Amino acid sequence: MAGRVRDPGRSVTSRVLALLGTFDESHPRQGLSEIARRSAMPVATVSRLLAELVAG
Q: Which CATH number goes with the domain that contains 41?
A: 1.10.10
With contact defined as beta carbons under 8 Å apart, do 32 and 47 qualify?
yes
53: CB partners within 8 A, 6+ apart: 16
Number of domains in the chain: 1
- 23 vs 4: CA distance, rounded Å: 26
**Domain coverage including residue 16:** 11-55
The answer to whether residue 2 sits within a structural domain is no
The answer to whether residue 17 sits within a structural domain is yes
The answer to whether residue 35 sits within a structural domain is yes
- pLDDT tens by residue, 2-56: 445 566 778 999 999 999 999 999 999 999 999 999 999 999 999 999 999 999 9
The answer to whether residue 32 sits within a structural domain is yes
pTM: 0.81
The answer to whether residue 31 sits within a structural domain is yes
The answer to whether residue 4 sits within a structural domain is no
